[in-house]
Structure 1
Amino acid sequence: MSELNPIRALLADVPFMVIDGALATELEALGCDLNDNLWSARLLAQAPEKIRQVHQAYFEAGADCAITASYQATVPGFMQAGLTADKARALIQLSVTLAQQARDAVWQPGQTDRPKPLVAASVGPYGAYLADGSEYRGNYDLDRAGLVEFHRERFELLLTAGADLLAAETLPSLEEALAITDLLAEHPDTHAWITFSAKDGQHISDGTPIAVCARALADCPGVAAIGVNCTALAHIESLIEEIRRECDLPVLVYPNSGEVYDPATKTWHPAACDYTAVGPFGLAQGVEHWLTAGASGIGGCCRTTPADIQALADWRSQRQASPVQGI
């Protein structure tokens, strides 16, 4: 990895970074059954071509960055599913290769109509490995040192595989984010973004104010950006404003589509509130508000699709063609 923050480098060429959308949603649309503790990571072994197909669809839609299928991929998790440790390690690294292959099918060296897209290797939270919904609570049985050791092997495997940066995402607690910064400190010239899951417009999932998180991470070496993902649309604008008040790092947001996830039943349900009354009801409807609040990157998390990402890319193209002051 380069000493230069890859997100800032990309932002030198575009008004904001378009991040990809949901991987699992598209895999299910392709007929894949993800009802498993490994979730989409299971397909690294069973149908890797499907993962590559989804990555390519997002790049073709205009995404500047793909997030790999390693969110729920850990050596212990794969071994519990019956794989050897060596096979597990190979599959974790394959997640990066698949995204790189998809990028290479869409973007060619010397291409001038868009910057080279990034591959961000997903580092899901400890709770994703537990598969008990605790990534939305943060009530773990591990302290910061234990979280460092849990994340260490996958962290290093993904770096060795050649990802442009890491995406430590859906973190429910500041303690876990700080564990990631401990690992970054061990690997100079490595970059990671850190995004939290949030329960409202001011607090991440375990109740810590997002402003406190932003202040704690603002000057940590290797932190390329901070933000929120897997969070309701209605909370995004406020969360951006809270972060922006505390640091000048790029702010990334990739919220859910607007539906609500029940971690106990692992099912999605219509939102209880009317987002048209309290906020945007889709990514394209929220983008102008989020950019004004200070976002540097926008994409989609659960239940979003390549069509949503295409809408973001189209919105950006239209604004670049006829820019509006202040956006």
Structure 2
Amino acid sequence: MDALPAGRTLVLDGGLATRLEDFGCDLGDELWSARLLHDDPAVIRRAHRDFFAAGADVAITASYQAGVPAFTARGFTRAEARALIARSVELAAQARDEAGGGIVAASIGPYGAALADGSEYTGDYGPAAGADAADFLADWHRERWHLLAESGADLLACETIPSYAEARALLGLLEETPGVRAWFSFSCADGERISDGTPLAECAALLAGHARVLAVGANCTAPRHIPDLIARVRGVPAVVYPNSGETWDPTARTWSGRGDPDDFGAAAREWQRAGARLIGGCCRTTPEHIRRIRAHLD
């Protein structure tokens, strides 16, 4: 994918894990949805297909929490682990082909997702956040990055990034892979700052000058913050795919509140008017949310 289609807003898919849970899948371990790349790949393809059928232009792969160390810790060989990560792109591509077209974005989840301690929402990586944090994080991401960069995906989706250092690390890896394009999407604390407190405008300024950065924005963030966050992105298209609007209680491990799909779709129209060029949903968003986005944008 060389560039965003001129004058067109792309609709992203919704919460892949949410859809898998709707099918009865148990995602309660460190691998999250990536476990199903081995245990039940057909259900991942089915979830992708449902989002395409709902009107999505883009499928984000099930590689968010996948990594060679995570798989080898479960007893897989390195070759098997690499094949499972590549499978995430194959499954999305199969669903795309069944749908008659679309875009496959290979998910690059943050270091905090592998820690499974919630730090993708704080950017607090402990010793990794020291003076050489960007170098440490680049080394940690490098194998999966290159694997997905060579997988045949149309682009890489660097998502739920909580820290400026991690954005720098991923931008350095983009420099290592000529011809690859990516979007950079941050988890945000409010309408101005990413999770580690860095202004989103500063992150956008870092990334906007790179010709192969397709978009910058926010995901896994409350919808109410999205209009202000879009306003912080300058010099590059904005990508936004917030949570449904429900609230996660980490103690009770339950969601509360209400995320109405039609309200979400109507809000997407406002995000489009504010300048967003890629719009979808993250946690707790379903094919119905995507269907309503498509209807409101059309």
Question: Under a length normalisation based on structure 1, what TM-score does the superposition of the two structures give?
Answer: 0.86
Which residue pairs with 2:222 in the alignment?
232
Which residue pairs with 1:268 in the alignment?
255
Q: 1:89 to 1:28 in 2, by over 3 A?
A: same
Residue 85 of structure 1, CA deviation: 1.4
Q: What is the 5 A alignment of 1:209-228? A: 209-228=199-218
Residue 254 of structure 1, CA deviation: 0.2
Aligned equivalents of 1:212 and 1:220: distance in 2? 14
| AA at the equivalent of 1:83 | F
Which residue pairs with 1:203 in the alignment?
193
Q: What is the 5 A alignment of 1:90-169? A: 90-107=83-100, 116-140=101-125, 141-142=127-128, 143-169=133-159
Which has the higher mean CA deviation after the structures are superposed, 211-220 or 261-270?
261-270
Which has the higher mean CA deviation after the structures are superposed, 187-196 or 285-294?
285-294
Asked whether the equivalents of residues 233 and 282 of structure 1 are also in contact (C-alpha less than 8 Å), the reply is no
Aligned equivalents of 1:222 and 1:258: distance in 2? 31
Aligned equivalents of 2:110 and 2:208: distance in 1? 20
Which ranges in structure 2 are unaligned for 5 or more consecutive residues? none
Asked whether the equivalents of residues 46 and 95 of structure 2 are also in contact (C-alpha less than 8 Å), the reply is yes
Q: Does 1:288 align with 2:275?
A: no
1:85 paired residue among 67, 78, 94: 78
Residue 263 of structure 1, CA deviation: 4.5
Q: 1:263 to 1:159 in 2, by over 3 A?
A: farther
Aligned equivalents of 1:36 and 1:310: distance in 2? 30
Asked whether the equivalents of residues 265 and 294 of structure 2 are also in contact (C-alpha less than 8 Å), the reply is no
Q: 1:263 to 1:87 in 2, by over 3 A?
A: farther
Residue 313 of structure 1, CA deviation: 1.3
Asked whether the equivalents of residues 269 and 293 of structure 2 are also in contact (C-alpha less than 8 Å), the reply is no
Asked whether the equivalents of residues 192 and 222 of structure 1 are also in contact (C-alpha less than 8 Å), the reply is yes
Q: Deviations over 1:43-93 (max 9, x none)?
A: 001010000000000111110100000000000111122222111110000
Residue 265 of structure 1, CA deviation: 5.5
Identity %: 52
SS in 1 for 2:209: coil
Residue 249 of structure 1, CA deviation: 1.3
Which ranges in structure 1 are unaligned for 5 or more consecutive residues? 108-115, 318-327
Q: Deviations over 1:173-222 (max 9, x none)?
A: 11101111100111111101000000111111111111111111111242
Asked whether the equivalents of residues 160 and 185 of structure 2 are also in contact (C-alpha less than 8 Å), the reply is yes
Q: Deviations over 1:16-40 (max 9, x none)?
A: 1100000011101101000011000
| AA at the equivalent of 1:232 | A
Aligned equivalents of 1:263 and 1:74: distance in 2? 24
Q: Deviations over 1:134-157 (max 9, x none)?
A: 000111132100100111111111
Which residue pairs with 1:313 in the alignment?
294
1:256 paired residue among 240, 243, 246: 243
Aligned equivalents of 1:242 and 1:166: distance in 2? 22
Q: Deviations over 1:240-276 (max 9, x none)?
A: 0111xxx2211110000011224566432337xxx99
Aligned equivalents of 1:42 and 1:262: distance in 2? 24
Question: Under a length normalisation based on structure 2, what TM-score does the superposition of the two structures give?
Answer: 0.94
Aligned length: 293
Asked whether the equivalents of residues 181 and 221 of structure 1 are also in contact (C-alpha less than 8 Å), the reply is no
Aligned equivalents of 1:263 and 1:297: distance in 2? 29
Aligned equivalents of 1:193 and 1:227: distance in 2? 8
Aligned equivalents of 1:251 and 1:235: distance in 2? 14
